[in-house]
Every structure is written in structure tokens, then in C-alpha cells.
Amino acid sequence: MDIEGKLDTSTPDLGRPDDPPPRKSFSVRVLSHASAEVSPENTDLLLLLCSLASGLTDSTLYNAYNTFVSMQTGNTIFVALGASNQNTKPYGWARSLCSIGFFILGSLFFSRLYNFLGPRCRRTLVLSFLIQTLFVMVAAAIVEGGAINGNVPNVSDPGVVRWNELAPVAMLSFQSAGQIVTSRALALGEIPTVVITSLLCDLMSDTAILAGLTQNIKRNRRIAAFTLTLVGAIAGGWISKATKGVEAALWVVMGIKFLLMSAWIVWPKKTVQF
């Protein structure tokens, strides 16, 4: 009997059971890498760098424009003083109001971005910090190029209102909102990165504040966040004093943001435990 003639030669060769699966294309691997959820382990270290950046930015901008871009409590008081005409500079309250407004817009934008793309997906975090990096870069570039006065101390006539100074304030306030939204997305509310008052309250309210060094991680994070914000503010003051401008500190902040964006690109993905 002709057995070979009776075989169905149209059946595909499925290969051996122990053959390795076919290698995915580069584009598929990139998309899979981008959509993966990042591992939460040690992500607090990246947010602590954001606290350092906030201190740098706020101390530098306050020296030049008498307003904050991260700490909105102080800006609220400045606006309130402006309502009673007690600001030392005409329309100084407008900078603070601008900062508050763009921080609100930034919070709205970044929160929707995280909800739409996935709060802990790699693509979300990379895109968020890319946007933050670009906003800081543009703010530093327009001051560096001389389009906006960034001298420290600002020796311009206090009676002259320079509305173009709102541009760096607006951009830096908008991007700073991305930091606190990230802390919420990663469930690291103990490192808000832009708020000190509630951080100190939570720290002192902790019933385990005197626990061993390795027994209270949230306390350790709060202390580190406060310390790095303070160190950043001191560094920002010295940098602006030495360079007599805000641009040098802003370039440093941009470098920090770029470093964080790069870290999210290579950050390990979350492993599923069975």
C-alpha cells in the first residue's frame, strides 16, 4: 500500500513542541514595552528628585519674580494682599494669580492624561516627564536668550509692569502640576513634591514617628522629601546669586526632568506574582 500517497501534504508543519516561539518584531516589542506597567519598587527615589527640583525652581523664581510656581499657598496669600493693594510691586499679584491658574490647568491636563493612558503605564510616565522637560527647557531658553528679564536681583523699575514675565511663570507652574499628579498615580501621597505644610503635618501626626530606621518607610520618605526641597531651595538661592540670573538653575531643573524621563524609559516592568 502506498502510504506516502495517502498523507495529506497540505497540513502545515507545526514544528517540534520544544521549538522556541517566533521572535516578535521590533515595533511589537516597543509597543509592549511602552504599554507595560512599571514596577512600583523604588519609584519613591524618582519622586524625591522632583522635590529637589521644586525647591530649586521656587527659590529661583521667587528671587526674580516674587512668586512661586509650585507652592500655591504662598501665591494665594500674595493674591489676597493684592486685593487690599498691599503688594510692593504694581500688579505683583497678577504673577501669583497666573501661577495658580496655570497650576490648576496643569493639574487638570496631567490628571486626564494619566487616566486616559493608564496611571502607571510606562508611556504615561515618559510622556508626562517629556512634557515637563520641554516646558522647563522653553522657559530657560527664553530667559537665556534675553527675551525676558531673568536678572537676580531684579533691578528693573518697580513701577514698570512687564507682562512678558508671566510666560516663564505660566510654563513652570503648569509643568509642576505633573509632579503631584505623578505622586498620586503611584500611590505615594507622602511625597507630594510641591507641598510642605501637609507633609510636615502628616510627619508629626505619625504615631510611629520614633520607630526604627527601617520600620517606617512613609516617615523616611517625608523626611527625605522635606530635606531635599530645602536643599534644592538653598542650592537655587546660591546658583542665582552666583550667576545673577534664573536661567542656570532652570537648566539644572531641566536636566533633572530629563533624567527622570530617561529613568522611566528603562524602569523595570511590574512582575505578576502567582
pLDDT of 3:
46
Strands (DSSP E) found in 32-100: none
Range of the domain at 60: 40-265
Nearest residue to 152 (alpha-carbon basis) of 66, 229, 234, 232:
66
Whether residue 60 lies inside any domain: the answer is: yes
Whether residue 105 lies inside any domain: the answer is: yes
CATH number of the domain residue 157 falls in: 1.20.1250
Whether the predicted pLDDT of 6 surpasses 70: no
State pLDDT tens for residues 50-79. 999 999 999 999 988 889 999 999 999 999
Whether residue 13 lies inside any domain: the answer is: no
Q: What is the mean pLDDT of the chain?
A: 89
Whether residue 167 lies inside any domain: the answer is: yes
State pLDDT tens for residues 228-269. 999 999 999 999 999 999 999 999 999 999 999 999 999 999
State pLDDT tens for residues 8-29. 555 555 556 566 667 778 788 8
Q: Please compute the mean of the pLDDT values over residues 148-177 and round it to a whole number.
A: 84
State pLDDT tens for residues 75-92. 999 999 888 877 667 778
pLDDT of 32:
87
Q: 3-state class of 238 per DSSP?
A: helix
Dmax over CA atoms of the chain, in Å, equals: 108
Whether residue 173 lies inside any domain: the answer is: yes
Type and span of the H or E element at 199: helix 197-205
Whether the predicted pLDDT of 213 surpasses 70: yes
pLDDT of 33:
87
Q: Please compute the mean of the pLDDT values over residues 152-157 and round it to a whole number.
A: 68
Whether residue 84 lies inside any domain: the answer is: yes
pLDDT of 230:
97
Whether the predicted pLDDT of 46 surpasses 70: yes
Global confidence as pTM: 0.87
Note whether 97 and 66 are within 8 A (CB).
no
pLDDT of 20:
66
Note whether 142 and 168 are within 8 A (CB).
yes
Bridge partner residues of 37 (DSSP): 121
Whether residue 274 lies inside any domain: the answer is: no
Bridge partner residues of 101 (DSSP): none
How far, in Å, CA of 38 to CA of 129, rounded? 15
Peptide bond between residue 20 and the one before it cis (omega within 30 degrees of 0): no
Whether residue 25 lies inside any domain: the answer is: no
Number of structural domains the chain divides into: 1
Place of cell 516592568: 269
Determine the straight-line distance between the first and last CA of the chain, rounded to whole angstroms.
Answer: 53
